[in-house]
Amino acid sequence: MISEFPLFVFTLLGGTAAGAYIFAWAFPAGEGKKNWLLPCASLVLLAIGGVALLMHLGHPERMFYAFSNPNAGITREGLTTGLFGILVLVDLICALRSGKPMPKALGIVAAIAGALLLLAMGSAYMQFHGIPAWDNWTSMLMFVVGGLSAGILVLPLFDSDIAKNSTFAICAAIMNALFACTA
């Protein structure tokens, strides 16, 4: 029997990184901050989650078979994780070279890639027609809202001033209330 724990690790860590990037675009860090910290931590989360995704199959080499089927949920998750990871790596390189916050265009593209990752996670579970609890729109809602909720909670770890922003606090309260309702 294949353990589902690696999928939990992947969706938790990947969803947290994606959610944090979506809100990092909406609430960018200021000048003089450690702008390399969020992309570095996100890459670590994506790497651990990506390894967990491989471990879900029991044998990592089975991922080659999974990638031959574009309709497989694990394929969509793997491709969107790779796309998002590349954009996060570009952001890390830009942050290390300039020390400035991510450029607006890169922030928007990274936020879109993060949203695609959350959607891929939700759609991977919606395709399991044999499990009624997963085979409906609430699965998508759970993964998207869960990733956004986790992401907004970790964002103040990378920029403590963001917690003083009342708009951010309202968004965090709304996201967590939505997550509580969704759960």
User: Other CB atoms closer than 10 Å to residue 64's CB: what's the count?
Assistant: 8
- Give me the chain's average pLDDT, please: 86
Residues 6-26: b if buried by 16+ CB within 10 A, e if exposed = bbebbbbbbbbbbbbbbbbbe
**What 3 state SS string does 101-165 have?**
CCCHHHHHHHHHHHHHHHHHHHHHHHCCCCCCCCCCHHHHHHHHHHHHHHHHHHHHHCCHHHHHC
pLDDT band at 1 (very low <50, low <70, confident <90, very high): very low
Going by C-alpha positions, the residue among 83, 81, 77, 88 that lies closest to residue 24 is 88
On the question of pLDDT at 108 being above 60, the answer is yes
pTM: predicted TM-score of the whole model, two decimal places: 0.87
The encoded tokens of residue 14 equal 């990947």
